Structure formats: structure tokens, C-alpha cells
Structure 1
Amino acid sequence: MQAPSDTMNATLAGVPELARLPGRDLVEVARYLIPLEANLVQGCLVASGVPAVLADAHLVQTDLLLAPALGGVRILVPQDHLQEAQAVLEAFARGEFALGEDADVGAAP
């Protein structure tokens, strides 16, 4: 059974209208109800070379009950990185950024 946040995140992710921000070349590529999930996806975008910023993350994090009313945390990327960002989001949805069961995340370099 899917968690309610997963259902809402899927709904929000399927509807971003690529809203342009006035005076900026940033466009919305995704929304998440849970700030931690938005941070995770932003990290994957940045690690893939796509400059991405979060909008409303702190506001949503102060009161998670407001997240649905505010529309969640938005992930914004520059217009010229839009196709790259969409490819990374698709890869994330396929699980390409997931760590395997045997991943050693505590080892020092």
C-alpha cells in the first residue's frame, strides 16, 4: 500500500506547469510534500550537473500540515537545464540513484 505522501507527491509531480518565475529564468520541474524528499532530489540534480534550488522548503518544514495548502516544496532549475533536469527526474523515478543493500555509506575515503 502506498503512503499518502507518496500519492500526493505523484500527483504533484505529474502536474507541474513549468511555472516561470517573473524576472528569472527558473522553471519548476517538481514538487514534493516532504522537504527531505525534495532535498534528496535536489541533491541528485546537483550531483548530475544541473543547478537546482528549492523554493518554500523552510516554510513547509516549519509546519508540515501546511504543505498541501502551499503546494509542497518546489524544485527550480534554469530554463536552459530543463531537459537535463527532466532526464535526471526520470532516472530518479526509475531508481537509478538508489543505493544497493551492500553499499558502505560509513566508510571514510
Structure 2
Amino acid sequence: MDANGAYQGDMQIVARYLTPTEAHMLCGCLRAARIPAETGDTNLVQADELLSPALGGACLRVPEKYVAEALQVMDAFKRGEFALDDDFDVGAQ
């Protein structure tokens, strides 16, 4: 449900990662794009990394309504569209 209580669809897994760090990083990226996202199984994978392949890794979920948009943002991330240059100055904005 969104902030107004409207149903957005069932949560769908849009990606799985062997490390929880990757799942959290992409979750933050989706949230920055105003896509409600959450991670799953990250604590279990973090506690015992040997279980990660057996579990399928940590998952990234979004409401059904946002699946297509989430996949577009994730593709843009993979293409490097959000990468910062090596000489990026945080104070220059």
C-alpha cells in the first residue's frame, strides 16, 4: 500500500544477489527513483554466506505496479548511468 493506503499489487521479486550489499545498494537506487522497494533474506545471507547460493541469494522486491519501472532503473544502473566520475566533487553542486 502507498502512503494513502491504496493497494499497489503483490510484492514481486525483481532481482536476486549473492551478497546483501548489492541488494541494499539497488534498493536504495530504486527508492531514490520513488519506487517502493524492499530487500529480503539479507540478514540470513549475511549471517551465513555459504547458504546464499542455496537460498538464491538476497532478493529485491517491488509492488507489482512498479515492476516495469524498477527493471528500467536497474538496467540504467547496470549501464553505468548513475556512475560518478573519478574527479567528482561533492561540494561543487
TM-score by length of 1: 0.72
RMSD: 1.5
Counterpart pick for 1:46 among 31, 38, 47: 31
Consecutive unaligned residues of structure 1, counting only runs of 5 or more, are: 1-23
Q: What do the CA deviations read for 1:14-43 (whole angstroms, capped 9, x no partner)?
A: xxxxxxxxxx71000000001111111111
User: Alignment identity in percent?
Assistant: 51
Contact kept? 1:44, 1:97, Cα under 8 Å: no
Q: Secondary structure at the match of 1:93?
A: helix
TM-score by length of 2: 0.83
What amino acid sits opposite 1:102 in the alignment?
Answer: D
Q: Which residue of 1 aligns with 2:52?
A: 67
CA distance in 2, matches of 1:70, 1:54: 14
Where has structure 1 moved over 6 Å in runs of 4 or more?
none
Consecutive unaligned residues of structure 2, counting only runs of 5 or more, are: 1-8
- Matched positions, count: 84
Q: Which residue of 2 aligns with 1:16?
A: none
